[in-house]
Amino acid sequence: MSRAVSRRHFTLAAAALAAPVVLPRESLGNDVKVDLVHLFSGAEHPIQKVIKAFNDKGTGVTVVSRQDGTTYETITQKAMASIAAGRGPAMMTTGWKLGDFARKTLGAQDFRQIFGPDRTQALLAKFRPQVRPLAAIGGVPIGLPWSMSTPVLYINQSLWTEAGLDPAATPKTVEELYPMVRQLQDKTGKQGLCYEVNEWLPQAFIQNAGGDVIDGDGRPVMDSAAAVKGIEAFVQPRRDNLWRVMTIPEMVAAYQAGAIGVMASSSARQSVVRQAAKFDLRLIQMPGLAGLPRRMNSGGNFLAVYSKVKEQQDGAYKFMEFVTSKEGFEIWLETGYLNVTTNDIPVRPGSEAAQAQMEGGLTSETIWPGARGLEALTVHIDWITKIVNGAVSVPDGLRSDRAAIDKLIAA
Res 5: pLDDT: 38
C-alpha distances out from residue 366 to 24, 68, 77, 219, 297, Å? 34, 23, 19, 11, 9
Query: Nearest-CA neighbor of 315 among 28, 122, 21?
Result: 28
Summarised one tens digit per residue, pLDDT across range 323-342 is 999 999 999 999 999 999 99
Which pLDDT band holds residue 28 (cuts at 50, 70, 90)?
Answer: very low
Summarised one tens digit per residue, pLDDT across range 87-129 is 899 999 999 999 999 999 999 999 999 999 999 999 999 999 9
Are the CB atoms for 237 and 263 separated by under 8 Å?
no
Summarised one tens digit per residue, pLDDT across range 165-181 is 999 999 999 999 999 99
**The pTM of the whole model exceeds 0.75:** yes
Res 30: pLDDT: 65
Are the CB atoms for 286 and 151 separated by under 8 Å?
yes
Residue with the bigger pLDDT between 25 and 62: it is: 62
Are the CB atoms for 147 and 46 separated by under 8 Å?
no
Q: For the chain, how are helix, strand and coil distributed in percent, rounded to 5?
A: 45, 15, 35
What rounded mean pLDDT belongs to the chain? 92
Summarised one tens digit per residue, pLDDT across range 348-403 is 999 999 999 999 999 999 999 989 999 999 999 999 999 999 999 999 999 999 99
Residue 290 in this model has a pLDDT that exceeds 80: yes
DSSP state, residue 106: I
Res 396: pLDDT: 98
Summarised one tens digit per residue, pLDDT across range 41-74 is 999 999 999 999 999 999 999 999 999 999 999 9
Residues 6+ apart with CB under 8 A from 75: 37, 38, 39, 68, 69, 92, 93
Are the CB atoms for 69 and 339 separated by under 8 Å?
no
Average pLDDT of 202-213?
Answer: 98
Res 128: pLDDT: 93
Question: pLDDT above 90 covers what percent of the chain?
Answer: 87
d(CA 109, CA 101): 12
Query: Nearest-CA neighbor of 3 among 395, 390, 374?
Result: 374
Residue 12 in this model has a pLDDT that exceeds 60: no
Whether the domain at 32-149+299-359 and the domain at 151-297+370-410 fall into the same CATH topology: yes
Residues in a beta bridge with 260? 191
Res 27: pLDDT: 38
DSSP state, residue 363: B
Rg (CA), the chain: 21
Question: pLDDT above 70 covers what percent of the chain?
Answer: 93
C-alpha distances out from residue 152 to 64, 191, 355, 357, 395, Å? 32, 18, 10, 9, 26
Res 281: pLDDT: 96
d(CA 143, CA 316): 11
Average pLDDT of 25-53?
Answer: 85
Torsion of Cα atoms, 277 then 279 then 280 then 285, to 10°: -50
Domain ranges of the chain: 32-149+299-359, 151-297+370-410
Q: What is the CATH number of domain 151-297+370-410?
A: 3.40.190.10
Residue 26 in this model has a pLDDT that exceeds 60: no
d(CA 198, CA 301): 16
Average pLDDT of 286-304?
Answer: 96
Average pLDDT of 341-345?
Answer: 96
Average pLDDT of 77-93?
Answer: 94
- What is the helix (H) or strand (E) element at residue 266, kind and residue range? strand 260-266
Are the CB atoms for 230 and 199 separated by under 8 Å?
no
Res 313: pLDDT: 97
DSSP state, residue 389: T
Pick one of 3.20.20.70, 3.30.565.10, 2.60.40.10, 3.40.190.10 as the CATH number of 32-149+299-359: 3.40.190.10
Helices (H) and strands (E) counted in the chain, each on its own, are: 17, 11
d(CA 232, CA 387): 9
DSSP state, residue 3: P
Residue with the bigger pLDDT between 411 and 302: it is: 302
Average pLDDT of 310-315?
Answer: 96
Which pLDDT band holds residue 134 (cuts at 50, 70, 90)?
Answer: confident
